[in-house]
Amino acid sequence: MEDKNINVLYIDDEPNNITSFKAAFRRIFNIFTAESAEEGRMILETELIHVILSDQRMPKMTGIEFFQSILDTHPEPIRILITGYTDITAVIDAINVGQVYKYLSKPWNEEEVKNTILKSFEVMELRRQNKELTLKLLDANKKLEFLARQNLLS
């Protein structure tokens, strides 16, 4: 299943990892890459990104810190932490602080990453649809309340 409509941002300070990621997924997804959290933030300001994968251990700012820093301005993209280090504290922080959807290990399994991105996009779409339906329901409730008040006054 290929879906070039999914925009994926991959952030990693190691150029070889970025090259590998692009090579593995460029035919399936629209891939945007950054070598730092700052570059990642600039891409978020100019592109509609659906899924963000970030390395945990980077200079200046960790992946978790990056995710935490974008929660207010970019809450919609699904966040995935990817790292070569097994650190239970990082996993806990990723979930609690960075609101990370999934934690993946390096070296990654291409099929696992692809399926995780597809499922992440599905979750994002379901959240968007839920928000839309909630707004429609609130609007319908306001209209019903108005009609009920009109009937009481008559």
C-alpha span between 101 and 47 (Å, rounded): 21
Quick: pLDDT tens for 60-82: 998 989 999 999 999 999 999 98
Q: Which two tokens stand for residue 63?
A: 């992946």
Question: What are the beta bridge partners of residue 11?
Answer: 34, 54
When pLDDT is averaged across residues 116-125 and rounded to a whole number, the result is: 93
Domains of the chain: 7-153 (3.40.50.2300)
Q: Which two tokens stand for residue 18?
A: 């970025």
Angle formed by the axes of helices 63-70 and 37-46, nearest 10°: 30
What is the band of 112 on the pLDDT scale with cuts at 50, 70, 90? very high
C-alpha span between 2 and 64 (Å, rounded): 29
Question: What are the beta bridge partners of residue 103?
Answer: 81
Of the candidate ranges 34-48, 70-84, 88-102, 107-121, the one whose mean pLDDT is the lowest: 88-102
In degrees, rounded to 5, the angle at the alpha carbon of residue 12 between the alpha carbons of residues 71 and 2 is 80
C-alpha span between 2 and 92 (Å, rounded): 32
